[in-house]
Chains A and B, each alone.
Chain A
Amino acid sequence: GDSVTQMEGPVTLSEEAFLTINCTYTATGYPSLFWYVQYPGEGLQLLLKATKADDKGSNKGFEATYRKETTSFHLEKGSVQVSDSAVYFCALRINQAGTALIFGKGTTLSVSS
């Protein structure tokens, strides 16, 4: 079935370090891909998305490129801040009627000053 696999955390970085959180997917069709972020004590909010192969989603200094050939959507940021500490979820949605988002297990990021 359709699924999302994320690298396990926690990921611990110092401020201004480079961040990569790996995400790969298995899908029967051509999905849209998403990264959501959950700050402590809050619900999830959309960070970025990409709807077709080779699209790059970006927001708040984060980027991810939809790579169909490697079925990946890795999240990157060049210089993390303490305020980026959160749980990050990769998700997919098959682009057909009647489907809901499928989430990965989440990766906890902790950034220290």
Chain B
Amino acid sequence: DADVTQTPRNRITKTGKRIMLECSQTKGHDRMYWYRQDPGLGLRLIYYSFDVKDINKGEISDGYSVSRQAQAKFSLSLESAIPNQTALYFCATSRTSGTGELFFGEGSRLTVL
């Protein structure tokens, strides 16, 4: 079983719909992240959380919100999806100490029509 699990893996939705992407981890890490990947743009950080009570905006947080329900769970919401939010979304975790190495889930592909 994957250490970092993302659901759903694929989702097609319509403009204006609310979407939630969920992430759970069994690695026992305190830190969790949401990135989006777009062709030619690499990975860009949306939100990150260093513990259950800590939420931080990343480079591209507009149009997104997050919830850290527990140490192991970090969900990303699109309140009103728009087509330019079509992308591949990755959840990642890391230890509090150490070099900051990230451990990634397998990604959630979202298409907004």
Partners in one complex: yes
- The reply to whether the CB of B20 lies closer than 8 angstroms to some CB of chain A is no
- The reply to whether the CB of A58 lies closer than 8 angstroms to some CB of chain B is no
Interface residues on B, range: 20 to 34
Shortest CB–CB separation between residue B71 and chain A, in angstroms?
18
**Which residue in A49, A102, A105 is a CB contact (below 8 Å) of B101?**
A49
Q: Which residues of B contact A45 (CB under 8 A)?
A: 104
Shortest CB–CB separation between residue A48 and chain B, in angstroms?
11
B85-112, CB < 8 A from A:
90, 92, 99-102, 104-107
Shortest CB–CB separation between residue A86 and chain B, in angstroms?
14
Contact A106 B101 (CB under 8 A): no
**Chain B residue nearest to A32 in the complex (CB):** B99
Shortest CB–CB separation between residue A40 and chain B, in angstroms?
12
- Tally of contact residues, A, Cβ under 8 A: 21
Shortest CB–CB separation between residue B93 and chain A, in angstroms?
11
Shortest CB–CB separation between residue A73 and chain B, in angstroms?
14
Q: Which residues of A contact B107 (CB under 8 A)?
A: 42-43
Distance in angstroms between the alpha carbons of A45 and B104 in the assembled complex: 7
Q: Which residues of B contact A93 (CB under 8 A)?
A: 99-100
Q: Which residues of B contact A106 (CB under 8 A)?
A: 42-43
Say whether, besides A49-B99, A49-B101, A100-B58, A43 and B43 are in contact (CB < 8 Å). no
Q: Which residues of B contact A105 (CB under 8 A)?
A: 40-42
- The reply to whether the CB of B33 lies closer than 8 angstroms to some CB of chain A is yes
Contact B41 A100 (CB under 8 A): no
> Which A positions have Cβ atoms within 8 angstroms of B?
32, 34, 36, 42-46, 49, 51, 89, 93, 98-106
> Which B positions have Cβ atoms within 8 angstroms of A?
4, 33, 35, 40-45, 48, 50, 56, 58, 90, 92, 99-102, 104-107
